[in-house]
Amino acid sequence: MNDENQPQWDFMEYKLFNGRGAVSKWLTKCKKVDDSSFAQFTTIIETLAALKKELWDLPDYRAKMVNMEGIGEIRFENKQKKQLRVFGTFKEEDGQYIMLGGAVKDGKNNYDPSDIFNTVKDRRDEIIRGVSEIVPYVDNDENDDENTESEA
């Protein structure tokens, strides 16, 4: 990625059992993600992809979170100002940012799903151990009608 017109980072995501990316599924299934917030998310990741890691910062990205070593959050909101988060981690040696899951933030420390922190830490660890796979994030919703069964 030496060309200055090439992205610094490729966005990847945790692969669910059905083959779909966890964040792609969350973005299309979460009722709080509206067209406005999806567009905002897309703009943010396009911007972040071109930046060096050191330049990823608030308000779009929080790198350090309590008890979440190595996991940061992409921050955006819907039209009703509901806070939305996508959690992920860097795989610097491959030039990748791996998105692990998404959640709706309500208040200071309340998230839906409530177990999102454990989920994303487990997913990160599975990827590190090589027992789970990642897939490229594709910025579209062509798969909305496919793979609609719920994940355990």
The angle formed by the CA atoms of residues 55, 129 and 133, to the nearest 5 degrees, is 75
Q: DSSP secondary-structure letter at 133?
A: -
Cβ-based neighbour number of residue 53 at 10 Å: 14
pLDDT of 2 over the 80 cut: no
Model pLDDT, residue 108:
85
Going by C-alpha positions, the residue among 150, 131, 139, 152 that lies closest to residue 40 is 139
CB 4 within 8 A of CB 89: no
Cβ-based neighbour number of residue 151 at 10 Å: 12
Nearest-angstrom CA–CA distance, 22 and 36? 20
Mean pLDDT of the chain: 89
> Residues 68-127: pLDDT tens digits?
889 999 999 999 999 999 999 999 999 999 999 999 999 888 999 999 999 999 999 999
